[in-house]
Structure 1
Amino acid sequence: MPKHTPFPTGAWNYVQQAERDETGERPDDYEHPSEAPIRLKVAIVGAGVGGLATAVALRRDGHEVHVYEDAPALSELGAGIQVPPNSLTIMHKWGVEEAIKAKSVEPKNLWWKRWQDGKVIAKTRYKPDFEENFGVPYRVIHRAHLHEALHDKAVDLGVRIHLGHTVASYDPERPSIRFTNGKEVVPDLLVAGDGLKSTARQVITGERIPLRSHGFAAYRACVPVEEMRKNRLIAKNMDFERDQSHVMSYPIKGGEDWNLVITVPEQKEPCHWDDYSRQSLSIMRSFYAGWDPTLIEILKLVKTTFKWPVQDIPQLDSWTSPSKKMLILGDAAHAMLPSMAAGASIAIEDAYALAQALRLIQSRHQLPDAIATWESVRIPRYGDAGSQLSTYVYATSRGRTTAESEGSIDGSGAVGVFVRSGGGGQVGLGEGWRWRWAEDGRPGYIEEGGHLFDDLGTTLRLG
């Protein structure tokens, strides 16, 4: 069990099972909006998933929330994104589940296939296992649709979103933000969710934190499912792997499109990429010459693609200013590799936990203590998530042959993440993954967390 795990996984599963009614269904998780004891004026920089999730969480508690976004119009780049139970349960509490359900897909299985011939190496059953274990299913969705759902909920709640506001400077102690248009904002709490290339991160840490490259890049693309149906060789939900390349694919847009994440080795830093290599279909396809014919047929259907760097940041010692009136969250605080499929879900946890922390205060003077409490819980949570969710794709490929990697998946699991749960290559969910997905804000966050603070050796000091 991870060092900071606030609630033993086995006990958590027992509690979940005890909550099911006679029909076997989990009780409704929706939480009605409530008024926090102290209403704060909160300024959020960044209208991505982390920023909008924070806006929803805080506005539901009655805080005055303003979101400031650099872009002149809202648009979410990228393609598919995975929505695991930890974040989906939180969004159920916020009343966003219908919007997510309408545009997402619930995959039945994850298939691992050999790169040369498409032979099934192993299978992990998603449906009904996830709902039985965690109360909600595992979903996949286009990032733009997740972004849209959070944006619409935020606007419905009364969040004010200000576009075309570029930050010129921060004062983390006051706190305040000055924008390039001359406007200045002085909130009670300043939250920066400004992404991987965050400028607020340096304000918090006092130094420039370089992005870490890992020798990989990922081409992202979408293919219409209607086109795939015309080709009988094309199978569903594939995961091909060989050496330092792999392809992960799944349906999005309610099953209309097929999302592809095509990982390739790349030693150049992104600043040295040219526009041609970023968008070249021929370069992307060249990495997969000689692979399974089914995959080749899928890649032939790709009309446009774009190459993204695979980068993250080292774990930070702090996510808050000394005054505890400014904080960073989401990718600004803990940018994670895409193979971990956890960046957005951990950001949504950040938002939910922040709202819980602010419910504890009875005066504005207690705000620093609440933020310190939030930080004391979230940094260990992220650190354990990062250590548990080892980058299995890269770890299996480095220093091991394809046969050795396949043997690991087929037998005792992939790098300690998956474990075998039955014969015939059936791969179940390891404890590290169970711990991550069960962390949905029931026992083990701040609101109900007396035992949590005892476990962490943390005293909640308010007043």
Structure 2
Amino acid sequence: MTNTENTILIAGGGIGGLATALAAAQAGHASSVFEQAPQFGEVGAGIQMAPNAMAVLTRLGVADRIAEFAVFPKRLVLKDAFTGEELTALDLGDEFKERYGFPYMVLHRSDLHRSLLEACESNPLISLHTNTTITAAEENEDGVFLINQHDEKIKGKAVIGADGIKSNVRKLFAQDDMVNSAYVAYRGTIPIEEISEDAEMDDVIMWIGPNLHVVQYPVRRGELYNQVVVFKSPTYTSESVEWGTPEEMAQVFEGCHSKVEKALSFINKQIRWPMYDRLPIDNWTKGNITLMGDAAHPMLQYLAQGGVQALEDAAKLADVLAAHGDNFEAAFKEFQEERIPRTARVQTTARQWGEIIHAIDPITIALRNDIFTKRPANDFSYTDWLYGHKRSLVTQ
């Protein structure tokens, strides 16, 4: 391994970790990124990049490359999963782009990750390391360190934990457990030609119903169709081992609209993704060590902001690293002072939005749908706080 003592050590080589390395490089800092897998890559299917993400990707110099693989939908649409009725929509056209400065984009997670990885590989300030599982981080009189699976200490100038929801670096700050939502997701992409002609290729569609939803949109230049099926397990308990099975999926979605039934027929039922988050914490920085992304603020996927908030973190880290030089303690304190209130709001709002779209009480559903159907597609009052966050900050 190359000498890392004069670099920022980044635990985790996912979207957040790579974006942080690029952000640090923009601030003039060398970094070493450690990934536990044999090679850098990204699992999953589609990912949504709202304007607050596009602003950061533009700042990092990768937006044009990513746009080659992306699809730019015309609307975000909510539909009733049983009746097929369109409940509400958000217009993503010219008025939206003018308001937020950037478009809304959807793409395959691997395409986003690959673009960030290629940018890192071509940057002389960034070194990439695989097959390294980070088990802990520590700071003592000898310096700041990451500790790997062989109990070896890796020394650096500072540590940024970007090691996801199961973060080992986070254990410095909180002994909290992941919170199981009792929901599970099944994800997958299929060739676009397998989708019937009546699929709405210009929109991101979310079909919603009691304890369930389905998300659909095209990715990879419109060559693939991404689908995510999410439902609450009717049998989950804290002791459960087998839960959220394909058989439960069939049970929960029984009687849904024909288009939803068709989506289920295409979904990959081999891999289930239990959906977890954690409660917000009031500190994730100590000395020359900090957290970012899902290590700091893991959230449920209902606002499509998990990866986006990691990108916002990276932008703020670029600012504080440039402002404070090698005074990482001051940089990281400023970083969390701004980011903790913001990310905590997104975390808690994601939970609330999940309760709204998955409502089971008929009166609640009726009131929700009445509000939804009355709002115009260009009413941005609900999204200004999320998509319009400090545009100047992330595009410097």
Q: Same fold (TM over 0.5)?
A: yes
2:365 matched to which residue of 1? 405
1:6 matched to which residue of 2? none
Choose which of 96, 119, 131 in structure 2 pairs with 1:130.
96
Q: Which amino acid aligns with 2:192?
A: V
2:284 matched to which residue of 1? 319
The TM-score with structure 2 as length reference comes to: 0.89
Q: Deviations 1:32-78 (Å, cap 9, x if unpaired)?
A: xxxxxxx9620101001111110010112221111011111222111
Q: In structure 2, do the counterparts of structure 1 residues 428 and 354 end up closer, same or farther at CA, with 3 Å as the change threshold?
A: same
CA distance in 2, matches of 1:340, 1:389: 6
Q: In structure 2, do the counterparts of structure 1 residues 367 and 298 end up closer, same or farther at CA, with 3 Å as the change threshold?
A: closer
1:377 matched to which residue of 2? 338
CA distance in 2, matches of 1:182, 1:390: 37
Task: Give yes or no for contact 2:208–2:214 (8 Å, CA) kept in 1.
Answer: yes
Q: Deviations 1:361-398 (Å, cap 9, x if unpaired)?
A: 25x4x331222111111111212333455532323434
2:220 matched to which residue of 1? 253
Choose which of 437, 442, 445 in structure 1 pairs with 2:387.
437
- Partner SS state of residue 261, structure 2: helix
Structure 1 residue ranges without an equivalent (≥5):
1-38, 449-463
CA distance in 2, matches of 1:383, 1:194: 18
Q: Which amino acid aligns with 1:147?
A: H
Task: Give yes or no for contact 1:221–1:305 (8 Å, CA) kept in 2.
Answer: no
Choose which of 82, 91, 94 in structure 1 pairs with 2:60.
94
CA distance in 2, matches of 1:371, 1:393: 31
CA distance in 2, matches of 1:54, 1:119: 42
Q: Which amino acid aligns with 1:135?
A: G
1:348 matched to which residue of 2? 311
Choose which of 82, 87, 90 in structure 2 pairs with 1:116.
82
Task: Give yes or no for contact 1:113–1:121 (8 Å, CA) kept in 2.
Answer: yes
Cα distance, 1:263 vs. partner? 1.3
Q: In structure 2, do the counterparts of structure 1 residues 396 and 93 end up closer, same or farther at CA, with 3 Å as the change threshold?
A: closer
Q: Which amino acid aligns with 1:310?
A: M
Cα distance, 1:144 vs. partner? 1.1
Choose which of 222, 237, 246 in structure 1 pairs with 2:189.
222
1:63 matched to which residue of 2? 29
Task: Give yes or no for contact 2:14–2:41 (8 Å, CA) kept in 1.
Answer: no
1:302 matched to which residue of 2? 267
2:14 matched to which residue of 1? 48
Task: Give yes or no for contact 1:340–1:391 (8 Å, CA) kept in 2.
Answer: no
Q: In structure 2, do the counterparts of structure 1 residues 94 and 299 end up closer, same or farther at CA, with 3 Å as the change threshold?
A: same
Q: In structure 2, do the counterparts of structure 1 residues 191 and 303 end up closer, same or farther at CA, with 3 Å as the change threshold?
A: closer
Number of equivalenced pairs: 386
Task: Give yes or no for contact 2:186–2:273 (8 Å, CA) kept in 1.
Answer: yes
Q: Which amino acid aligns with 2:368?
A: S
Q: Which moved more, 1:254-263 or 1:312-321?
A: 254-263
Max radius of gyration: which structure?
Answer: 1
Q: Which moved more, 1:88-97 or 1:218-227?
A: 218-227
1:456 matched to which residue of 2? none
Cα distance, 1:203 vs. partner? 1.7
Task: Give yes or no for contact 2:79–2:208 (8 Å, CA) kept in 1.
Answer: yes
Q: In structure 2, do the counterparts of structure 1 residues 128 and 184 end up closer, same or farther at CA, with 3 Å as the change threshold?
A: same
Cα distance, 1:126 vs. partner? 1.4
CA distance in 2, matches of 1:48, 1:136: 24
Choose which of 324, 328, 350 in structure 2 pairs with 1:361.
324
Task: Give yes or no for contact 2:139–2:145 (8 Å, CA) kept in 1.
Answer: yes
CA distance in 2, matches of 1:107, 1:61: 33
Q: Which amino acid aligns with 2:361?
A: R
2:172 matched to which residue of 1? 203
2:354 matched to which residue of 1? 393
Structure 2 residue ranges without an equivalent (≥5):
none
Task: Give yes or no for contact 1:235–1:294 (8 Å, CA) kept in 2.
Answer: no
- Partner SS state of residue 359, structure 1: helix
Q: In structure 2, do the counterparts of structure 1 residues 234 and 308 end up closer, same or farther at CA, with 3 Å as the change threshold?
A: same
- Partner SS state of residue 18, structure 2: helix
Q: Which amino acid aligns with 2:183?
A: F
Q: Deviations 1:197-239 (Å, cap 9, x if unpaired)?
A: 111111233xx211112231112122221111xx345444432
CA distance in 2, matches of 1:334, 1:80: 21
CA distance in 2, matches of 1:218, 1:114: 19
CA distance in 2, matches of 1:252, 1:383: 30
- Partner SS state of residue 43, structure 2: coil
Is 1:288 the counterpart of 2:253? The answer is yes
Task: Give yes or no for contact 2:187–2:268 (8 Å, CA) kept in 1.
Answer: no
Is 1:268 the counterpart of 2:231? The answer is no
2:179 matched to which residue of 1? 212
The TM-score with structure 1 as length reference comes to: 0.77
Q: Which of the two has greater strand per residue?
A: 2
CA distance in 1, matches of 2:391, 2:104: 17
Is 1:331 the counterpart of 2:333? The answer is no
CA distance in 2, matches of 1:180, 1:218: 30
Q: Which moved more, 1:172-181 or 1:290-299?
A: 172-181
Tell me the C-alpha RMSD between the 2 structures.
2.6
* Percent of paired sites with the same residue: 25
Cα distance, 1:285 vs. partner? 3.6
